[in-house]
Amino acid sequence: MPLQIPPLLYPMVRPRTPHTFEPLIGSDEAAKLLGNIRVRTLQRYARHRRIPGYQIGGHWYFRASELDSWLRSQTANRQSEDWVFASPKMSGKQPYWPETMLKCYVQPIAKRLGITKKIGWHTFRRTLGTLLTAADETAKTMQGLMRHANAGITMNLYAQARTSVKRAAHLKVVEMIRPTTETVVVPSCSHAQQVSFGK
């Protein structure tokens, strides 16, 4: 009679799963993936284990997939009362400083888009005022939306007329003063001269 070996004594063979190798990226590339944050800030977060990273030979390396998962975890449980631009340094309890947002996000994006003019927060306010003017909103409505003390500040400092609107207004005036075919009297230095105008 053959020897019966209990099932628990059989060697367990686990199927091999293909191993996917993900190369590590340096601090500069990782900082760009996180929205062009400072490299020193990124390394400080990694040193304090707030961001997944690997220190090898005095240098920090990261995996793009882990950074992506970390970003998703930062916004997965956002509450309605949370700050829109919350600072990860303050665990979302405080927003970014306005100058930090401008320097680390807005200005680099503008540079990549080829915008060479100086951009500040008032650039967006002036853009809002100009777009509200183009939408034929009243001065009082614009004042309320931009939270100015009076409408004079809104209209004199922030709102600008768009080129297309100015051109359309100019054409209206031209249509009003352009004469039809008629004879008018144009005074000269010594005598009146009849001139015929036509379209």
**pLDDT (0 to 100) of residue 3:** 47
Q: Specify if 55 maps to a domain.
A: yes
Q: Which domain holds residue 48?
A: 22-73
Q: Specify if 94 maps to a domain.
A: no
Per-residue pLDDT of 104-119, as tens digits, reads: 888 888 888 998 888 8
In whole angstroms, give the CA distance from residue 190 to residue 195.
15
What's the average model confidence in pLDDT over 121-138? 86
Q: Specify if 93 maps to a domain.
A: no
Global model pTM greater than 0.75: no
Q: Specify if 87 maps to a domain.
A: no
Q: Specify if 3 maps to a domain.
A: no
Taking 60 as the threshold, does the pLDDT of residue 8 lie above it?
Answer: no
Q: Specify if 182 maps to a domain.
A: no
**pLDDT (0 to 100) of residue 144:** 87
Do residues 120 and 63 share a domain? Answer: no
Per-residue pLDDT of 14-72, as tens digits, reads: 455 555 678 899 999 998 888 778 888 889 989 988 889 999 988 999 998 888 888 77
Do residues 51 and 108 share a domain? Answer: no
Do residues 109 and 66 share a domain? Answer: no
Do residues 161 and 109 share a domain? Answer: yes
**pLDDT (0 to 100) of residue 37:** 82
The residue with greater pLDDT, 190 or 67, is 67
What phi and psi, each to the nearest 5 degrees, are found at residue 194? Answer: -90, 130
Q: If pLDDT is split at 50, 70 and 90, which confidence band does 76 have?
A: low
Do residues 113 and 160 share a domain? Answer: yes
Q: How many domains does the chain have?
A: 2
Burial class (CB in 10 A: 0-12, 13-18, 19+), 18: exposed
Evaluate whether 44 touches 51 at the Cβ level (below 8 Å): no
Do residues 108 and 156 share a domain? Answer: yes
